[in-house]
Amino acid sequence: MKKLIALILSFVLVLGLAACGTGTDAAPANSAPANSETTSPSENDKSDTPTVGNIVEAPGSGPADASNITSVEGVPLITLNNGVQMPQFGLGTQIQSLENGDLGVLNQTSRESVAAALRTGYRHLDDAHGYLQERGVGQGIIDSGVPREEIWITDKL
């Protein structure tokens, strides 16, 4: 029975991913409508204006401008499709137990872990609302002294 349920869930996942795929006739979410008059910069245009697809972005407004992530302690960076770089290694902030159900202790443990990791060169934190320690992670970021713009945070609802 478990194998059947796993098979059905896998099938549903594949169908869902296929439905969200980018076919040749599907326009990217950030592209202009087909009937709009958007021009892309010519090859002779030497400006530093960033472009995403055929849309010209104003200087300072692109996704790469929202992040000041740099490699620290030799941690390699990965360049995403939109040009933004993110650290390849990160700290997973999930703590397995609630330590006797005490959220204060959980948040203190998270706070200390995050602050220590950021001080030693980590710049990627993986967090989630369900971990119940967002306050601890936030306070750890503050305690570390690392500017928020230099930290990549992955979060899940």
Low-confidence winner among 5-9, 26-30, 86-90 (lowest mean pLDDT)? 26-30
Most confident of 31-35, 39-43, 65-69, 127-131: 127-131
pLDDT of residue 58: 57
Give the CA-trace dihedral at 36, 39, 40, 42, to 10 degrees. Answer: 170
Three-class DSSP category at 135: helix
Higher pLDDT, 62 or 86: 86
CA distance 120 to 48: 34
pLDDT band at 141 (very low <50, low <70, confident <90, very high): very high
Greater pLDDT, 73 or 24? 73
Where do the domains of the chain lie, and which CATH numbers do they carry? 46-157 (3.20.20.100)
Return the structure tokens found at 128.
Answer: 């989630």
- State residue 70's pLDDT score: 78
Instruction: Quickly count: other Cβ atoms within 10 Å of residue 144's Cβ.
Output: 19
> What's the average model confidence in pLDDT over 51-78?
68
Catalytic residues, by residue number, are 131
> Pseudo-torsion of CA 56, 60, 65, 68, nearest 10°?
160
CA distance 108 to 137: 9
What is the value of pTM for the model shown?
0.56
Coil/strand/helix, residue 147:
coil
Asked if pLDDT for residue 119 goes beyond 90, the answer is yes
Over residues 95-102, the mean pLDDT reads 65
